[in-house]
Amino acid sequence: MVDVTHKPVVYREAIAEGAIRLRPETIRAIREGRIEKGDVLTTAAIAGILAAKKTWDLIPLCHPLPLTHVDVKCEVSGEDRVVCRAKVVTSAKTGVEMEALTAVSIALLTVWDMTKKLEKDEEGQYPYTRIEYIRVVSKKKGGEA
């Protein structure tokens, strides 16, 4: 790990987002609450929050950070996408970009897992499904929320 011993503890915030492309029929099933595994958007958001809290455990050289706030929102966007956005906050010596990116990634993977039954083609493949555009939208250092 990088030595951050001598860095000051300051307010840190990162926002990340990404999307998963799904078949329009799958999006309709999500909107209508017809996914066999349950509420896709809520489950994905909770999975993202849990992932942010475990980032240091998943990515070998990340520092364990005392997260003070994690918010993950997942919503249907248009006819063929779910977008997930994560905001992570701490007061620490290093940033929370990796926590925000991990939250979004796991939230999107959860959407995939919960909808894969509807996404498979006749051969059991996923020709339409894809996770895309995962990125850090913004980050702050210092100041307040």
What digits encode the pLDDT tens for the residues 47-61? 999 999 999 999 999
**Exposed/middle/buried for residue 56 (C-beta within 10 Å: 0-12, 13-18, 19+):** middle
Q: Are 32 and 63 in contact (CB under 8 A)?
A: no
Annotated active-site residue in 57, 80, 113, 121? 113
Phi-psi region of 124 (alpha: psi -120 to 50; beta: other; left: phi over 0): left
* pLDDT tens digits, one per residue of 66-112: 999 999 999 999 999 999 999 999 999 999 999 999 999 999 999 99
Report pTM: 0.96
Nearest to residue 1, comparing CAs of 51, 86, 69, 65? Answer: 65
Above 70 in pLDDT, residue 122? yes
> Band of the pLDDT at 65, cuts 50, 70, 90?
very high
What is the C-alpha separation between 97 and 16, in angstroms, rounded? 7
To the query of whether residue 71 is one of the catalytic residues in this protein, the response is no
Model pLDDT, residue 10: 96
Positive or negative: CA dihedral 28, 134, 117, 48: negative
